[in-house]
Structure 1
């Protein structure tokens, strides 16, 4: 496709570029991407993800100026930082959530400022499924009301990415908005399903399907102890289980933990015959998922579970890379939605 004819995208809160890469694969051209984290911006540059990459606060972006520079923008994409809407936020005493969060509460309103000033044909908004919970009714209503006020109809869905062939049971909220005069957006039909359900769909893609070639332990990894002081317990937990294995409710003869006394991810292990659970953005010594061989996951494995190409470059130290890939939208999920947007609104070309 001629570069000049590709639908033009502005990407906000771009991170390592999961959304951007999915859109690029579908035939879009990201003319402008931005993030506040320098390492993420460097990763975007390293992988040639946008014509222009801005590293800085979204509140300082003049979107009118952007439109003047690049002409009509076809699509706005982005996932505002999710901690204000995360389920774990409810466990943090004294931490405000939603719009009151002091670090990122401004991000959702800024996304809609961009929508107002750019006025693209279509937008994609992504966040954690907690965004739709009753505790965030104000923010969810803001999204719906603001979209309508700006002349957009919306279609939204909480997606389990495993149901679209991603090897991860990662639930995320996606909202697709389109100008009122444009055709309705309908989410692509789910293609995969939990294999225990008797349907004609494909079974979930499993961890074993995508990372089995890494099923070994290096000399360096032999000296590491996931779970720290509970490493010996980790080795006893069956693949696909967590600390609850050692509770009275589960029938363990000498219980070591009380039921639901820890985060669910505590000592959580992958199973090769099912998808991964959600990859977290922060590396942890005792919060999983861990490999079924009782070791930390490798960045190469995280990329596979998040459907990044092996050759995609992540810059920084190990924990920096982990944060980048853990925060990303799975590339395959982004590509499925981008391809549908391309089909419905751009007929494969601009």
Structure 2
């Protein structure tokens, strides 16, 4: 039985939306500017009330979104979901002075979400973003404080926490900021799900001590039959070094500090994911949307991951269709929320706020 109508903002290819529908909500309207991502969304969500709204959300009135969902008059959605693009607050972007100073104009997209929240008045909401938004620096903290203040001003009580997807059965260590909320009038505290799995992430334990072990990349990819992809070969200046890197290791294997007889790199001279290779016994590290030519994780077979493999490592159904090139598919996946995490977030939110 459906819990009601959901509206999706910054929809991408629909990772958050897949989880929402697995939690028994029906996505009836979506807003996404990227053409490949919008095409992917329409391929996988053919039941939308109208085609994906392919416009800049700053120029899309809330009434147009509600109309696309088939809501008229005083009808309001049961659930609002979305993850505003994380460019201004991405950890990998803080080396840019103007981003550290909080001058990225894309930051206003957070306000596009809270504008729709205040005007559409959904019964529940889920907002997702990069966990670096919670950092105490000039770019992140003022924006995060403003976001929480605007949610409060819109009339919602909320709960936020950084959740690692691996702690919820996803075979990828992917920390994301999740905020869930409900109208103050409901007098119910919206809750986030408790971890179901446990393991190590960046040298520390995460998840539930009583939980199942993290799902490994090897287990997730077991039995998957894929065809080679033309762009999977790692060539260029450093590609020939990849076969020498042990599974789970990176460029540091070729340093004097690690005892290499012919060191090629200085200690901590590169980004951590440079020549990073998957360990089949552990979850995949975070898969980026737009990695450089030598940025992993790479497969332990010394190649780039194939699209079908990336879908498994995000927890997408095997039959989920992605439109566009291989690079476009990785961008769509790398910008998305793993569906199993999204499902558990929505289930916990629904359960905690139901009367």
TM score, norm. by length of structure 1 = 0.91
The CA deviation string for residues 104-149 of structure 1, in whole angstroms up to 9 with x for no partner, is 2221011111111111121111011101001211111011111111
Cα 1:37/1:97, change in 2 over 3 Å:
farther
- Cα distance in 2 for partners of 1:333, 1:78 equals 14
- Shift in Å, 1:29: 1.3
Which position in structure 2 is the counterpart of 1:184? 189
| 8 A Cα contact 1:8 1:74, kept in partner | yes
| 8 A Cα contact 2:199 2:214, kept in partner | yes
The CA deviation string for residues 237-260 of structure 1, in whole angstroms up to 9 with x for no partner, is 100000011122223233211112
Moved more, 14-23 or 147-156: 147-156
- Decide which of 282, 305, 319 is 2:327's aligned counterpart: 319
Which position in structure 1 is the counterpart of 2:49? 51
Residue 247 in 1 paired to residue 259 in 2? no
Which position in structure 1 is the counterpart of 2:111? 109
Cα 1:125/1:224, change in 2 over 3 Å:
closer
- Shift in Å, 1:66: 4.0
Q: Please, what is the CA RMSD of the aligned residues?
A: 2.2
The CA deviation string for residues 7-65 of structure 1, in whole angstroms up to 9 with x for no partner, is 11111000000011110111101121011111111111111263222011001211135
- Cα distance in 1 for partners of 2:81, 2:107 equals 18
Residue 81 in 1 paired to residue 85 in 2? yes
- Cα distance in 2 for partners of 1:164, 1:143 equals 26
1:135-214 equivalent positions in 2, closer than 5 A: 135=137, 136-182=140-186, 183-194=188-199, 199-214=209-224
SS in 2 for 1:157: strand
- Cα distance in 1 for partners of 2:119, 2:168 equals 33
SS in 2 for 1:276: coil
Cα 1:47/1:215, change in 2 over 3 Å:
closer
Which position in structure 1 is the counterpart of 2:103? 100
SS in 2 for 1:209: helix
- Decide which of 344, 349, 353 is 1:336's aligned counterpart: 344
- Cα distance in 2 for partners of 1:67, 1:98 equals 36
| 8 A Cα contact 1:210 1:304, kept in partner | yes
- Cα distance in 2 for partners of 1:65, 1:256 equals 57
Cα 1:165/1:255, change in 2 over 3 Å:
same
TM score, norm. by length of structure 2 = 0.89
- Cα distance in 2 for partners of 1:59, 1:209 equals 42
Residue 277 in 1 paired to residue 294 in 2? no
SS in 1 for 2:53: strand
- Cα distance in 2 for partners of 1:78, 1:331 equals 13
- Decide which of 38, 41, 48 is 1:41's aligned counterpart: 38
- Decide which of 7, 10, 17 is 1:13's aligned counterpart: 10
SS in 2 for 1:228: coil
Which position in structure 2 is the counterpart of 1:263? 271
The CA deviation string for residues 151-197 of structure 1, in whole angstroms up to 9 with x for no partner, is 11110011111011000010110011111132112222211001797
| 8 A Cα contact 1:307 1:332, kept in partner | yes
The count of residues paired between Structure 1 and Structure 2 equals 340
| 8 A Cα contact 1:227 1:287, kept in partner | no
